[in-house]
Structure 1
Amino acid sequence: MEKPPSAEPQNRYGETGGENVVDVPLDDLCHYRGKVAEDIISEDGALLLPRGSDIPLMLRTMPGITKTLRRWNREFIPVQVSSDITEEEFEAVLRAIEPKTRMLDPGLARRAIDQVEEVYSRISENGHSREGMETLEKEADRLARDVMRSPQILLCLGKVKDSDEYTFIHSLNVALLSGYLASILHPGDEELVKTMTFGGLLHDLGKAKVPQEILNKPGRLTSEEFEIMKTHSIHGMVSAVASGVSDRRLLSVVRSHHERWGGDGYPDGLRENRISIHARIAAVADVFDALTAKRVYKDPMRSREAVSMILESSGSSFDGAIVRALLLSVGLYPPGTVVELSDYSVGVVTGVRNKDLLRPQVCLSVDSRGRRPESPAIIDLSLGTDLFIRRSLNDMGKGVVYGRTES
């Protein structure tokens, strides 16, 4: 291969079906992830590197490869650059934005998850959990205070790794997002934020009475199984009352979060403003998290696709004002979305600034030449830069995995 005229990596877009191919100097290979774009052949016809060789793996398993290539007068390797963001790189993004964007206390989140699980367990056995409910309310108050200080709530939501924990992490996520939407709809109303955060933790309480084989069935429910599933809203309200919950706002969240604006929800077929504002907020939060979560029977939907689906149902299934609050909260490119910019750099959206939904803040993980910088750079597309988003590539989903506390 003839050496490019510059020592800088050379982009060759479109040469392999639209992929980004870069001629990379051997000394810079350690800054790239991707695969060798074409067979590397020696002058006497020997295959030095086959097309498709993984660059990081090659450098680890063949530490002397660069010396070998130089002996055959090779100074550059054509690399099909990978724009994927790994879990480790996403965690680096979270660390990079932490000083500027306050994240949720993971210890607080973990305690809330554990307490939800404790309440569910007691209700499953006894039908109520009075002491557990009092403790859970205190955890909800702490969570609500964090919600009011967290400007990018999607990056605080928990990822579901274990299907056994889905219900409890889902309850946390609905609590966080419900509280956050309440703060957008009614700024300064701390009481509403607290109510919605606690209500989110309680909303699926009745699933403690639904058989596990139905909750975790890896396929479509039969009509009979779905009817059993639908009973969870009534079971939840009964269990909440038995556990000492008397606040009608909280009870409406538990009973009515599956009611729909057009009247085709359950259990009571309520419509429009006959559904409490608390249940309407929880409904949007519940559906968004359910769509973007990994389950035994489905892969997670991208956050952007989930927002689009909820937007399409505004005014039919969901209160339009709450859907607009969701859109203002997460933007057209929700936090966690991996995007490619107009200069072919790649980064993770970390939030919306200046209410410009098309030009969010992005934490770059791959520069315009395909290199992985030592530390991510944060740019705000709304501040007059010429850069814009070319396309959405992927979705890192929720930002945090809350591991089990050590016993």
Structure 2
Amino acid sequence: MYARMRTFFSAGLLLCLTGLRHGKVILVAPGSDVSEKCEGTWDGIRTNDIQLKIDSTAHLLVQNFQDKRRYTCGDTELILERRHASSGDATLLYRAVGQSVHLFCKHLGAETYSGEWSWKHGSFNRGFRRLSNSSEPFTGPVSKKGGGDNDFSLDISSVEWGDSGQFQCTMRLIRPGGGPKKQTSYELVVVQATAEPQHVYEGGSVTLCCSVSLWKTPWELCWIHLDSNSKYSCQHYSTYPNRCKPGGAAVFNTVSIVSSVQSQWACAVFHGGTLRALLPVQLNVSKHTTTHTPPTHTTPVRRATTPLATHSENAEDTRNTTATQHTDPSAGVSVPHVCVMSVFGLVVVILVALTALLLWKRTDKEVCEDEDERRTADEEACAEGLLPHRGSVTYASVHFKRKPTEDLSKDVAPTDPPATAGGTEGEDVTVIYAGLKMNSCS
């Protein structure tokens, strides 16, 4: 009885110390990746870790592992321990273009080993090529350990698309007659995500392309629309309800951008239901600049101000005004505005021409009327003898009444010329003076 109670209390104490968590310990080689998922949220996320929340499932991706780490998610506890020597297993790694990769190859022991690397491109069926100390045939800088402490790890600081393929590290024991060898292999898959165009306006469309250098089942490749709660600084991402469907080696997705909220996307690569790569793409979404046109240039606005406008005219004005307000601002001034402005300018030119013509005709008519009035006045003045008539010679008739003879002798001096013969007393004698000088009237 005492033994049973002691066993019961020991089990209870152990349960209290360990809690109700389900612990999981994984030995990870330096530079390798770890992917896990749980229902809830992961705690203990570090700088190089990625967490993607899809609905209630939280995916954890640890890339380029180096030190011991501990994560918790609800009742799940994950402990990552560092592996100090190569295990000989084949490791699958995913890297985006431009990222670095560390291929771990090391032996623990007192014996001295030699090591060499060979590489085979994934898209060719030819055999492995031995890698020298130089970076050939890789496009990015490559460095290899010199073998101190039996460490022959390989580093590529900037992965390029052509660097994908299979890497193999072979270590041989150095002794007379040769010795056993150990191999460690890696398969590097390069992932690339692009958006064309990178800058898009609201209402436009953008083509998203996600591609991988190698394709094997059961991989899943898809685009995920990230929501506004995603935090790029600490690589905490979440998404709207979305189902990632399996695709080919390259997945194209044409998206219509309705608003700036749709600016955050990510290319996700899943392998066996776990997240193996996530490449966020931030789109530069801009709003169209609205250009307001003065209402006086729009015919519907002028008709709307008329008090006697009917209901149908008001409805037509409303439709026309709405169409004017939704004109594409990127095209500048719309075609209806150009037409209205052109017609308005033509009417103004015609009115100015008609006004000038009327003024010219009026001035000419007034000049003619003034000239006619002046001529009439001159003719009347000449007829009345007030003004001399210009341009003609006028003969004047002078009538004298001859006086009686007795009076004539008294009044007329002896030097006066005699009267014209044939004249009688009391008769009118017409005397024509041809030499009379007079002014002429015009």
TM-score bin, normalised by smaller chain = under 0.3
For normalisation by structure 2, the TM-score amounts to: 0.20
User: In proportion to residue count, which structure has more strand?
Assistant: 2
Query: Normalising by the residue count of structure 1, what TM-score does the alignment of the two structures yield?
Result: 0.21
Higher relative contact order (CA 8 A, sep 6+): 1
